[in-house]
Amino acid sequence: MKQIPYKSFKNKKILCREDLNVPTTYHNGKHTITSLNKFYATQSNLKPLLEAGAQVGILTHFGRPANDGSDQKEYSVEFMVTVLRDLYKVPVTFCSSIQNKTIPFRSKEIILFENVRLNAGETSNDEVLADRYNSMCDVYIFNAFATSHRAHSSTEAIIKIAKEVYLGPLVEYEIKQLDTAMNNPTRPLIAIIGGKKVSTKFDLINNMLNFVDTLIVGGGIANTFLKSNGINIGSSICEDNFLEQSNNLLNNKGKNKIILPIDVITAKSIDSRIGNNVTISKGVANDEMILDIGTQTALHYSSIIKQAKTILWNGPLGVIEKDLFKDGTKVIAQAINKSDAFVIAGGGETVFAIEMFGISNRINYLSTGGGAFLEYLNGTKLPSLKAFEKRKKS
Ligand code: 3PG
Ligand code: MG
C-alpha cells in the first residue's frame, strides 16, 4: 500500500472521511457519548496531519436521519466539536453546510462538517455531491473503516473521482488485522459468535468455517442450530426459515467445528426474576425461553478458550442487558481476559459487553466496525475498498 505523504500536506486542504458514529444517550436535546473508541481511532490519521501543518476537514455520518424534512436536530454532529477540541488541542470550527461559499479551512486547525447523511444524495451515492466534496479539498483520505460497507457519496462515489485519494491508517490497520486472522492466524483460532439472529450471521459463520479451528455459538443464533438438531427450545427466539440451512451447516461443513451449548438458562420471559439451568438433551419446557448459556457450557467454552492462540469475538452469548442473563457472557469475558491469545473483537454489542465486563485492555484489536467487520469476515468485497482497488489499477 502507498504510504500517505503527510509531510507534503503542509497548508493543503485535506478532507478526511472518518466514522464518528458514536453511541450516545439523548436527553433534553443533548447527546452524551457512551464510548469514545471511534474518536481515539481517528488519531493515527489526524495527528500526523495536524503536525504536518495541514488544513483538516472532517466528514462523518451520525445515525440514520430520515431526510424527509422532519426535525433533524438530533442528528447534528455539532456536539462533537468540543470532543475534538479536547482530544486534539487545536481550534475546531463547525461548518453547518458544505454549500457555504467560503469554507474556513486553516492550517493546523480542524473543520467539522455537518452530518453527511443530512446532505441530499449522500446515501444514494450521488455523483454531484461527490463532486462537491472533491471541489472542497486537495486530497481526500478515506479513514472510515466502519462505513466501508456502504456505497454512499462520501464512501464510494468520491473515491472514484477525487483528485488525490488515500486509504487512511485506520482502514489499513483494520484490514491488516482481519486479513491476518483469515489467512495466517496463530492456531488454534477460536471464534465466538453470539447475537440474536442467525440470518444476520449465517454468511459469516459459513465463511468463518473456512479458516477457524473451532466456532463456539451462543445467543439466539444457537437456538436455531439446536432446534435444527431436533432439540425442543420451547418459546425461545428462533428463525424457522433457517432450520434446514443451519442443520446442513452443522452436520457437514461445521461438523467437529461448531460447538453448541450443552445447557442453558431459561425463564418465562426476559423480565422473569428466576432462571432455570436446563440440560439441553432434556429439552426446554414449552412456555420457557433460552436467555443465556448454562453453567456447564460456560465452563466448557472457557476450557476451549484457554487453548486458543487467536480469538475472534462477535456478539454476546445471552441477554446481557438483564442481570440474570449476563453471567454466561461474563464467564466467557473472564476466560478471554485470562488467556494469552491474540484477541480480535468487533460489533456494537460486543464493545458494550467488553466495556461492561472491564476487559478493554485485554483486547488486542477492537474493530470500530459493526456491519463492516462482519461483512469483511464474510468474504464480501466492501464498496469503498473495491472503489479504491479499482482506482489503483486504472
Ligand atoms: C456503524 O456504526 O456500524 C457504522 O458507523 C455504520 O453505520 P450504519 O450502519 O448506519 O451505516
Ligand atoms: Mg451498523
| Centre of ligand 2 from the C-alpha of residue 370, in Å | 5
| Centre of ligand 1 from the C-alpha of residue 349, in Å | 13
* Confidence label for 69 from pLDDT (cuts 50, 70 and 90): low
Give the whole-angstrom CA distance, residue 35 versus residue 33.
6
Instruction: For residue 279, give the amino acid letter.
Output: T
Dig out the grid coordinates for 109 from the structure.
486547525
**Residue 141 β-bridge partners:** 16, 166
* Confidence label for 58 from pLDDT (cuts 50, 70 and 90): very high
Other residues' Cβ atoms within 10 Å of the Cβ of residue 152: 24
Express as a percent the part of the chain with pLDDT over 90: 92
* Confidence label for 150 from pLDDT (cuts 50, 70 and 90): very high
Evaluate if residue 393 carries a pLDDT over 90: no
Ligand 1 atom 3: residue of nearest CA = 370
Other residues' Cβ atoms within 10 Å of the Cβ of residue 382: 24
Question: Does the Cβ of 150 fall within 6 Å of ligand 1?
Answer: yes
Give the whole-angstrom CA distance, residue 248 versus residue 260.
15
Q: The pTM is what?
A: 0.91
Give the whole-angstrom CA distance, residue 340 versus residue 269.
37
- What sign results for the dihedral spanned by CA atoms 280, 204, 180, 369? negative
Given a contact cutoff of 8 angstroms between Cβ atoms, the answer to whether 185 and 213 are in contact is: no
* Segment 321-377, tens digit of pLDDT: 999 999 999 999 999 999 999 999 998 899 999 999 999 999 999 999 999 999 999
User: Which atom in ligand 1 lies closest to the alpha carbon of residue 19?
Assistant: 5
Ligand 1 atom 6: residue of nearest CA = 147
Residue 27 in 3-state DSSP?
A: strand
Question: Does the Cβ of 23 fall within 6 Å of ligand 1?
Answer: no
* Segment 10-38, tens digit of pLDDT: 999 999 999 999 999 999 999 999 889 89
Half-sphere exposure of 387 (CA within 13 A, CB side): 22
Give the whole-angstrom CA distance, residue 278 versus residue 295.
10
| Centre of ligand 1 from the C-alpha of residue 24, in Å | 13
Ligand in closest contact with the CA of 23: 1
Quick one: CA torsion of 235, 333, 320, 352, rounded to 10 degrees? -130
Question: Does the Cβ of 346 fall within 6 Å of ligand 1?
Answer: no
Ligand 1 atom 5: residue of nearest CA = 21
Q: Average of pLDDT values for 47-57?
A: 98
Question: Does the Cβ of 21 fall within 6 Å of ligand 1?
Answer: yes
Dig out the grid coordinates for 275 from the structure.
432462571
* Segment 107-141, tens digit of pLDDT: 999 999 999 999 999 999 999 999 999 999 999 99
Contacting residues for 323 by C-beta, under 8 A, at least 6 apart: none
| Centre of ligand 1 from the C-alpha of residue 20, in Å | 10
Question: Does the Cβ of 147 fall within 6 Å of ligand 1?
Answer: yes
